[in-house]
Amino acid sequence: MITTDITAEELKERLAKGETPIIIDVREDWEHQESRIEGAQNIPLGALPQRLDDIEDYKDLEVIVHCKSGMRSASAKAFLQQQGFKQVRNLVGGITGYQG
């Protein structure tokens, strides 16, 4: 089980190499519209329990969660791990750190 979080630098390097990790943006829809990481799926934290069926296929895959600063995505990481997701990583510093 991977439980270590991912830094903005590591994610940027992986994306630059052409990797396409599963990224879930747990911010609200309007926040996702303002700024996003290319390829990220938007599932707001409050909707995550109802949207588990949408991401069921990712249970054994690496899933990177992010929000604005890392707080909501830390909650999303804990929730997904409780639901049996084995490789959830939080983006340290959120999109603020990613864009900074």
User: Which residues does the annotation mark as catalytic?
Assistant: 67
- How far apart, in whole angstroms, are the C-alpha atoms of residue 43 and residue 32? 9
- How far apart, in whole angstroms, are the C-alpha atoms of residue 66 and residue 43? 10
Q: Judge whether 45 and 65 are in contact, CB under 8 Å.
A: no
